[in-house]
Structure 1
Amino acid sequence: MWERRTHARILVSDADAGCIIGKAGYDIHAMEARSGAHIKLSGRGRPLPGTDRRVVLVSGLFRTVMDAAELVLEKLFYLGDQVIDAEATVVLVVPDACCGALIGKGGEVIKSLAEESNAGITVSPYDICYGFHDRLVTITGHLDNQLQAIFLILSELLDDVRYSSSVASLSFPSSSVRYGGDGQDEHVERYHSRPDTPVRSPDYDSHVQGTLTMGVADEYVGAVIGYGGRTIQEIERVTGVQIKIVKGEFIPGTNEREVVISGTREAVDAAEAMIMQRVSDATKGRRRQQGGGGGDRRPVKEVE
């Protein structure tokens, strides 16, 4: 588990972002060097839509992401050896599609995570999304409890292909999500595409034409295409989108291929869900063939 790739998105204020970056970027580079993870921030004046906070994206191997998360939170909790706020609030950004499994039937999963970590964990309402179909997971408690909660949450999301693939289309300062109702090739930043409006607000227009680029692991591209291209053609027929899979090139730093989906927002969302389901089915089938399962979870305190 510790050698698998994952990511975490953490909301921070402008002031906290400055503390994380440090003078001339010294602090953020030092945290990357110590943890081995990649750490990026959304630009100044470009908060996650629906909030006034910037996004810290931490990505890499699970163990490096946890190490980096600890370093980032220490920046928010401590000034040198002095405690700034013993019970500061940490907010994670999680794709809406992943939140159902994270909450569990009747809230069973989220309650068990809160009890195990001894932290408060709440998920924002399902009918209000932020950014690009995201929800907010708020964690309260002491630093150690919050780190344990982050560890447990990322563990739950580790096998969710919708979560792992979502990082492929995240980029700062800009991303591969483009929307131009008149067909213009306007490169719109993912976290600034609708600056003041949660995606599911009354102003959300599901008929706006757009393009979404997502990543699919190379080993599962065949499952998306299907025999003779039948699966991908069926997805296009049912949703009305156009799908292009970039050949011969991986997304930098990954073993994933770019899958470009074009159509109305509503159609793109439907096609993305169908592709994710195909990948999820293929993943489960491979695990059954291998007779494998995940390793045991280790507590955060063992992450050095």
Structure 2
Amino acid sequence: MDSGVIEGGLNVTLTIRLLMHGKEVGSIIGKKGESVKKMREESGARINISEGNCPERIITLAGPTTAIFKAFSMIIEKLEEDISSSMTNSTATSKPPVTLRIVVPASQCGSLIGKGGCKIKEIRESTGSQVQVAGDMLPNSTERAITIAGTPQSIIECVKQICVVMLEVSSPPKGVTIPYRPKPSGSPVIFAGGQAYAVQGQHAIPQPDSSSISPQLTKLHQLAMQQSPFPMAPSNQGFQGGMDASAQTSSHEMTIPNDLIGCIIGRQGAKINEIRQMSGAQIKIANPVEGSADRQVTITGSPASISLAEYLINARLSSEATGLAAN
């Protein structure tokens, strides 16, 4: 579809909601808010950022289409700059694509996907970007996330086309839209190697000395064990709660495709060492077996450290998936 509808000055007020990790949002805001202030002034768009203390934040862009896409382009350029600067000391030969998530009412996703996936296929082919529409709604909302990966220009073109579909009279949101609101990081707390960690996104953040807040941490730890968002390692002994869990040692095996093992190991083993350090678990990656497309990964340690290591590995795999899909 020709995005000239928007380029030609379609006189509407538009709202685009972006879902970003805290680190990305920090970059968009800039020191003392200078970066986002410049974006607001130069684009003329209203840019609102949901409150902090959440692993994820919502950035809302509102205003006339020309202002919106000026602001959107500036955000994409900033993300592209961050990728370039992170590669300065990198040995990687290929530059990862810019990856962005926008949030849309679930009731409009059908029009966006099209019959038999024809519309989304057309958008992918005409813009050159990779587009994935999440199958499930975001927690406590009627919205779904759309992940877009590619070059800055292809992403901008892709979002323009998505907006055209959403502005068409044939696909207004049905019923009341319940917007997704990221929850504050009252994150799961887990013990590994005698240290308490709060799990935020794909990061494990070491917590303060646990002795001063031991009862609270023990309670959180027990809750995390019961309602864990990440798979627990099987263990016959079960959890005793508190620090006792660190004393038990067991092993857990995972199978990871050969083409994804690199993102787990990282440059010169940096990523796997980081996961070992965060979780307190031992992680061994078997040598490739001829004829097999998978590698065996053995995680050894306390059940708590195994589950944290497994969670961090899975988070790393899922964050890499959008990047790999674009190649």
TM-score, scaled relative to structure 1 = 0.50
Distance 1:16 1:82 in 2: 14
The equivalent residue for 2:39 is 31
What amino acid sits opposite 1:158 in the alignment? Answer: L
For the residues of structure 2 that align with 1:190 and 1:27, how far apart are their CA atoms?
24
Q: 1:131 to 1:68 in 2, by over 3 A?
A: farther
1:59 maps onto 2:62 in alignment: yes
In structure 2, what is the equivalent of residue 155 of structure 1?
A: 164
Question: How has the CA–CA distance of structure 1 residues 76 and 132 changed in structure 2, closer, same or farther, with 3 Å as cutoff?
Answer: same
Q: Is the 8 A contact 2:149 2:155 kept in 1?
A: yes
Task: Give the drift of 1:86.
Answer: 4.9
| Structure 1 match to 2:119 | 109
Q: C-alpha distance in 2, partners of 1:88/1:99?
A: 22
Following superposition, the deviation at residue 118 of structure 1 comes to 0.7
Is the alpha carbon distance of 1:94 and 1:131 closer, same or farther for their aligned partners in structure 2, counting shifts above 3 Å?
farther
**AA at the equivalent of 2:112:** L
| CA deviation after TM superposition for structure 1 residue 161, in Å | 3.3
Measure how far apart 1:129 and its partner are: 3.2
What residue number does 1:144 align with? Answer: 153
CA displacement at 1:53 relative to structure 2: 2.1
Conserved? CA contact 1:35–1:67, under 8 Å: yes
Residues 13 and 192 of structure 1: CA distance in aligned 2, closer, same or farther (over 3 Å) = closer
Q: Please give the alpha-carbon distance, in whole angstroms, between the structure 2 residues aligned to 1:149 and 1:37.
A: 19
Q: Percent identity?
A: 25
- CA drift of 1:131 comes to 4.8
1:69 aligns with 2:72: yes
Instruction: Name the amino acid aligned to 1:115.
Output: E
CA distance in 2, matches of 1:78, 1:42: 23
The answer for the alignment partner of 1:207 in structure 2 is none
The DSSP-based 3-state class of the residue aligned with 1:78 is helix
Query: Per the alignment, do residues 3 and 72 of structure 1 end up closer, same or farther by CA in structure 2, a change over 3 Å counting?
Result: same
Tell whether the 8 Å contact from 1:96 to 1:129 is kept in structure 2 after alignment: no
Distance in 1 (CA, whole Å) between partners of 2:47 and 2:160 is 17
Please give the alpha-carbon distance, in whole angstroms, between the structure 1 residues aligned to 2:144 and 2:20: 15
The AA in structure 1 aligned to 2:119 is V
96, 110, 121: which one aligns with 2:131: 121
Q: Tell me the secondary structure at the aligned position of residue 89 of structure 1.
A: strand
Partner of 2:173, secondary structure, is: helix
Which residue is 2:142 aligned to?
133
Matched, 1:78 2:94: no
Give, in whole Å, the separation in 2 of the partners of 1:140 and 1:57.
19
- The answer to whether structure 1 residue 12 and structure 2 residue 20 are counterparts is yes
Tell me which amino acid in the other structure corresponds to 1:32.
R
Separation in 1 of the partners of 2:74 and 2:134?
Answer: 26
The aligned counterpart of 2:316 is none
Number of residue equivalences: 171
What are the equivalent positions in structure 2 for 1:1-304 lying under 5 Å apart?
1=6, 2-46=10-54, 52-79=55-82, 86-126=96-136, 128-159=137-168, 160-162=171-173, 190-192=181-183
- Distance in 1 (CA, whole Å) between partners of 2:86 and 2:13 is 32
1:79/1:89 Cα in 2 relative to 1: closer, same or farther (>3 Å)?
closer
Q: Quote how far apart the aligned CAs of 1:142 are.
A: 1.1
What is the CA–CA distance in structure 2 between the aligned matches of 1:61 and 1:131, rounded to whole Å?
Answer: 29
Q: State the Cα deviation string for residues 18-61 of structure 1 (Å, max 9, x = none).
A: 11111221111110111111111111123xxxxx4211111111
